[in-house]
Structure 1
Amino acid sequence: MKKSNIIVVALVVLGIFSCVPLKQFQDVQQREIDNKEELNRLQSDYRSMEVDNKELKGELERLKELVIGLEQDTLRLAKQNWALKNRNKELAAQYGEFVKNSSGNISGESKELLEHLQSLHEQLQKREDALFRSERELAVKREKLASASANLASMEGELENRNKRLYELERALSEKDSLMNALKNTVANALTDFGSDELEVHIKNGKVYVSMEEKLLFKSGSYEVSAIGVGALAKIAGVLEQKKDINVLVEGHTDDVPYKSAVLLDNWDLSVKRATSVTRILLKNGNISASRITAAGRGEFVPVDSTKTSEARKKNRRTEIILSPNLNQVFDLLDAN
């Protein structure tokens, strides 16, 4: 990869969710999962191709040795054939001279010479047949050798391409993980005034989660953010203002105790209103593009603790601010390769 492209990767690996619609957010999230699966598949294919490549190299070496042996055999047969032809020619001339001088009387000596000449001719024919077969086999082996060499070159090229794509995927995912760790530390440092019983900052599925307890942000059944909660959100907004490529999903969560008011129909309504309230405060306290933030209400349907205890319900009443890198440009760069 060119240095300019590596810089682009490093700059753009700072957000995974799409701008506003939750569907687009889910699509990009699925794309990251698909790329991790492709990375695993490429790693497996690469290992398999390395084995095939090694076997093909062994077969190529065997064919080279076989062709060398056939070339030597063919050369030896050709020399023998040439010598036999010369000897046959000499004997044929001697026999012709002998017949000419014998005035048609064929003696035992001439019969013996004739038989020797016939035997030599048969040997010559066999050697010529063997030479022909050797030359034909050599041509076939040379063709196989050329095909094996072409296959090896093709496989090595494919292996190089797979290795390059494998490297790019590993680099992109590693770069994203490193940046998300740095982002987690930055957010955590900005929120040191708040205790672990009020909020928690952690990484899950490659994203930074800021999980805020209900008591930090809201009174029971309310969606109006408290003054302390505004202070915490202002600090987060300050980080997001600096990290312009980070996209945000604000999720409101409630417990499973039924709730209804004159304004709200149920817990789902309450979780949506809380998410939008947090979103507005983030936008008010930082120079953040509204297109970077998605507000979603999850009601009681995504609990962190499904038991029916008061402590479990307390954990479930939370607001999560999910920060994630936008890998669209990274994926486009990888697709181009």
Structure 2
Amino acid sequence: MKKLIVLSACSMLFLASCVSKKEHIALQEKYQETQDLLNTATVKLNSCLSDVAAANARVETMKDQLADLRKANQDLIDTKGNLTTLTQKGAENLEKSLESLKERDLKITRLQDALTKKDSVTLAVVTSLKKAVGISDPDIEINVEKGVVFISIADKLLFKSGSYNVTTRANEILGKVAKVINSKPDFEAMVESHTDNVPYNKPPLIDNWDLSVKRATSVVRVLESLGVNSQQLIASGRSSYVPLVENDTAENRAKNRRTRIVVLPKIDQFYEMVESEMKNLSEGN
């Protein structure tokens, strides 16, 4: 473009020498107009170049931003996948926990129902067993403790003092007990013998442990002779270590010398017995 300007100037000088003054003035005006156009074009060109540079800078910035967005999007996709996996595992664990809670609540409800039912018919069960045994004696107790039925017999009704041989009276009492055990062939009966704390040492026995165990086995043998299945029977000696009262008087020591026959039904069988007694109560029996 500079060459064009120089050439134009030279041409005008050459023509100025050849043209008239009027034409020379016209040429000068034309030159000035061209110069103005050139200056304007140069300004516009510089502005465009500046805009292009700014646009290129924005493009680079946008490329960087696009790359960041793509990375962030991929991270979100990966996170979503992880969260989906975690959510599925969490849902499975939550479902298992809910099932466990439901089972536990059901068990608790059943236990509460059973306890309520047991408490409401304890007296009826005791009365039923007393009728079956047919004994009314202050030295014989029939009761229910913690879902277990037991018959407690004072040792004076079963044994002579210091002896483990059963009395004639014992056969009569244990015959009644055998009827109860035989009526429940799926039950177990534990014969549990207790002594007082007076030391015992009569050969072949050496202490209260021996005496309590020997008395328990003596009762078991009588029950066997009365037809009770041996597989239902358990002999247990407790010596003097589970007293009912302090061993501080003769009367109290007599209370502590006792034999308990503990009837141990299976849980479902005990519930059946409870339900039967509740039915009898509702019918007024």
The bucket for the TM-score relative to the shorter chain is: 0.5 to 0.7
Q: Following the alignment from structure 1 to structure 2, what is the Cα–Cα distance between the partners of residues 223 and 199?
A: 19
1:279 and 1:230, CA in 2 relative to 1: closer, same or farther beyond 3 A?
A: same
Equivalent residues, number? 222
Query: Does the aligned pair in 2 maintain the 1:176–1:325 contact within 8 Å?
Result: no
Q: Secondary structure at the match of 1:322?
A: strand
Conservation of the 8 A alpha-carbon contact between 2:118 and 2:147: no
- The aligned counterpart of 1:331 is none
Match of 2:209 in 1: 268
Give 1:163-242 correspondences, 5 Å limit: 163=101, 166=104, 170=108, 186-191=128-133, 193-195=135-137, 197-242=138-183
- Gap regions ≥5 residues in structure 1: 1-103, 328-337
In the alignment, does 2:261 pair up with 1:321? yes
Aligned residue number for residue 303 of structure 1: 243
Alignment partners' CA distance in 2, 1:267 and 1:216: 19
Contact 1:250–1:319, Cα closer than 8 Å, also in 2: yes
Q: CA deviation at 1:324?
A: 1.9
Letter in 1 for 2:135: D
- Does the 8 Å CA contact 2:192/2:260 hold for their aligned counterparts? yes
Alignment match of 2:252 (pick from 299, 312, 315) = 312
Residues 153-164 of structure 1: pairs in structure 2 closer than 5 A: 153-163=91-101
- 1:317 is displaced (CA, Å) by 0.4
Given that residues 197 and 247 in structure 2 are in contact (C-alpha distance below 8 angstroms), is that contact kept between their aligned partners in structure 1? no
Percent identical among aligned pairs is 31
Matched, 1:110 2:48: yes
Deviation of 1:293 after TM superposition, in Å, equals 0.8
- Give the TM-score taking structure 2 as reference length: 0.63
Unaligned regions of 5+ residues in structure 2, if any?
1-41, 268-285
The verdict on how the C-alpha distance between 1:244 and 1:183 changes in structure 2, with shifts beyond 3 A counting, is: farther
Residue identity matched to 2:171: V
Give the aligned residue type for 2:261: I
Q: CA deviation at 1:175?
A: 8.6
Per-residue Cα deviation, 1:285-304 (whole angstroms, up to 9, x for no partner): 34x32012111223223322
Give the 3-state SS of the residue equivalent to 2:238 in structure 1.
strand
> Would the alpha carbon gap of residues 316 and 107 (structure 1) be closer, same or farther in structure 2, given more than 3 Å must change?
same
TM-score by length of 1: 0.54
Query: Which amino acid in the other structure matches residue 130 of structure 1?
Result: D
- Distance of 1:188 and 1:162 partners within structure 2: 43
Return the alpha-carbon distance in structure 2 between the equivalents of residues 125 and 317 of structure 1. Answer: 99
> Helix, strand or coil: the match of 1:193?
coil
Q: Which residue of 74, 86, 95 corresponds with 1:136? A: 74
Distance 1:184 1:151, change over 3 A: farther
Q: 1:125 to 1:189 in 2, by over 3 A?
A: farther
Counterparts in 2 of 1:293 and 1:183: CA distance versus 1, 3 Å: farther
TM-aligned CA deviation for residue 310 of structure 1: 1.9
Q: Secondary structure at the match of 2:136?
A: coil
The root-mean-square deviation of aligned C-alpha atoms, in Å, is: 3.5
- Conserved? CA contact 1:187–1:236, under 8 Å: no
Shift of 1:142: 0.6
Residue type of the alignment partner of 2:199: P
User: Which residue of 125, 131, 148 corresponds with 2:86?
Assistant: 148
Per-residue deviation, 1:215: 2.6
For 1:294, which of 212, 222, 234 is the aligned residue? 234
Shift of 1:221: 2.5
* Residue identity matched to 1:310: A
**Corresponding residue SS for 1:130:** helix
Rounded Cα–Cα distance in structure 1 between residues aligned with 2:84 and 2:127: 58
Q: Is this contact kept in 2: 1:186–1:239, CA < 8 A?
A: no
Match of 2:16 in 1: none
Q: Could you tell me how far 1:107 is from its partner in structure 2? A: 0.7
Structure 1 SS opposite 2:49: helix
Q: How much does 1:220 deviate?
A: 2.1
